């Protein structure tokens, strides 16, 4: 029986060494596997993840930058539109003012022209009246001279005198009708 006890302790002792050596072998294999993974797999995976993170961050930054630029452009366009409206209102106001000034100047010029025409017409009427009065005076003087010469040629009685006056008046009336 002793030998069977001994055999058991040998099996237990050899199985303890085998278990320890197996554990040690597994640990060393695991460490080698970890080192191989770190060198060949972990670095590229980490690099790939870092690149992806950087790309996403850049995309987010670019999107934010684009949004800010769009917002800035929108604000700029609104400012330009406001300026354009203001300028259009100024141009319209200036055009209206120019039109008002032109209309006023035209009215003043028309009034001035009508006054000149009225004055010219009055001057023409006065000149024509003066000319007619001068013609009438000349005609009366001619008639007076004619009458006086006829009177001097004849000795006049009151009836002849009246007859000469009447005949001169009739001639005057005939001359006016012609």
Q: What is the dihedral of CA 102, 105, 106, 107, to 10 degrees?
A: 120
Distance CA 129, CA 123 (A): 10
- What pLDDT was estimated at residue 15? 56
Q: How far is CA 72 from CA 21, 58, 75, 76, in A?
A: 72, 20, 5, 6
Q: Is residue 3 predicted with pLDDT exceeding 60? A: no
- Which comes out higher in pLDDT, residue 174 or 90? 90
pLDDT digits (tens, 9 = 90+) for 92-127: 999 999 999 998 899 999 999 999 999 999 999 999
Q: What is the pTM of this model?
A: 0.39
Distance (Å, rounded) from C-alpha 175 to C-alpha 142?
A: 13
């Amino acid at each position: 029986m002793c030998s069977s006890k001994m055999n058991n302790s040998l099996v237990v002792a050899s199985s303890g060494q085998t278990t320890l050596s197996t554990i040690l072998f597994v640990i060393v294999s695991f460490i080698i596997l970890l080192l191989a993974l770190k060198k060949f797999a972990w670095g590229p995976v980490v690099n790939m993840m870092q690149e992806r993170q950087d790309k996403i961050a850049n995309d987010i930054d670019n999107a934010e930058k684009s949004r800010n630029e769009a917002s800035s452009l929108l604000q700029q366009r609104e400012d330009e539109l406001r300026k354009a409206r203001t300028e259009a209102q100024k141009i319209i106001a200036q055009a209206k003012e120019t039109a008002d000034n032109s209309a006023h100047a035209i009215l003043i010029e028309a009034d001035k022209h009508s006054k000149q025409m009225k004055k010219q017409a009055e001057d023409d009427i006065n000149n024509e009246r003066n000319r007619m009065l001068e013609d009438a005076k000349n005609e009366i003087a001619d008639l007076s001279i004619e009458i006086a010469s006829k009177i001097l040629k004849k000795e006049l009685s009151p009836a002849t005198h009246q007859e000469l006056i009447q005949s001169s008046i009739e001639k005057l009336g005939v001359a006016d009708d012609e």
